[in-house]
Structure 1
Amino acid sequence: MGDITYPRVAGVVFVHGAFQRGDAIYLPRKGAKKILRYKGWTFQRIEFKKRPEAERVALRTEFNRSVRTAYLRQLAESRRDELYVHGLAPTEVAAMAKGDLPFGYQVHHIIPLDDGGTNAFENLILLRNNREHSALSAYQNAFTRGLSPGDSVTVDYPVPIRAENFAVYPPASLSEPEELQLWPRRR
């Protein structure tokens, strides 16, 4: 499979309807004429090879039954201060220590289970559900739709630049994703 190139305009790289400039990626909001700017993310080129359904289901089942709970407990124990700085309430962190998700968040696989991603904690991050998780899922679905198990495609996939340095996105050290209007509003 040959290397793929993406169009560049004024230093901006366009990738599957999204683009990157500097230390931020820009993803379209599903169903909206807006894009969101995510600081601290970059595109990593991966060969996305669709896993057989039975493998993916087995990994997802393992994640749902035990991995997510263990990951949340580990975060609550080892990254408690970061969770507080991020704005989670003590009751939410206490719930995480029991394995419960805080309201409005998902445990996200940085490299998806569909594509060779694992349930290793290094491949997981606590991500807000509404903006970030839904935008990343829509981005992934745009290029995986129609792939059969065993099919592959080389893609530039959004990943956190320094995932080992933060457990929650967006971390307190970065600003909120910025919403940008793509088209002028009609009056």
Structure 2
Amino acid sequence: MHRSLQFRGMRSKFLKSISDNPEVKKRFDSATLADLANGKAPKGWDVHHKLPLDDSGTNDVGNLVLIKRDFEHNLFTNTQSNITRQIGTNGAKEILWPVPKGVIYP
């Protein structure tokens, strides 16, 4: 299965799995929690790979986090892109990767 199709399925599974999380329940109203239980992300939020697929990350729910689109998701994505761009195509380098903790960030 193509990894983008796999991600869509895991994205929905992840959102459903966090709908009962106490940390998530504190952040959203009942309508938004119902959307999460149906596999839909809240408006203004994205599902983000903690460790990018290009850097040995997977579509497993343990590698996913619900993250605010503006400003946080853009910050992580741009930072990760800038770091990998500096390494080069065939380069290898050990780096301290910016990874959000938990199932929801911030």
Q: State the TM bucket, normalised to the shorter chain.
A: 0.7 to 0.9
Q: Which has more helix, going by share of residues? A: 2
Deviations 1:9-42 (A, max 9, x none): xxxxxxxxxxxxxxxxxxxxxxxxxxxxxxxxxx
Give the equivalent residue in structure 1 for 2:26.
Answer: 85
Q: Which of 51, 54, 75 is matched with 1:135 structurally?
A: 75
Give the equivalent residue in structure 1 for 2:6.
Answer: 62
Give the equivalent residue in structure 1 for 2:58.
Answer: 118
Which of the two has higher C-alpha Rg? 1
Mark the runs of 5 or more structure 1 residues left unpaired by the alignment.
1-56, 171-187
Normalization by structure 1: what TM-score?
Answer: 0.51
Distance in 2 between residues matched to 1:84 and 1:144, nearest whole Å = 35
Matches within 5 A, 1:1-187: 58-64=2-8, 66-76=9-19, 78-79=20-21, 81-86=22-27, 88-145=28-85, 147-148=88-89, 151-160=91-100, 163=101, 166-170=102-106
Check the 8 A contact 2:35/2:41 in 1, yes or no: yes
Deviations 1:80-118 (A, max 9, x none): x322312x1211110111111101111111111111001
Q: Deviation at 1:151?
A: 4.2
Identical columns (%): 30
Partner SS, residue 107 of structure 1 = strand
Q: Which has more strand, going by share of residues? A: 1
Higher RCO structure (Cα 8 Å, ≥6 apart) = 1
Partner SS, residue 70 of structure 1 = helix
Paired AA for residue 7 in structure 2:
F
Q: Deviation at 1:145?
A: 2.6
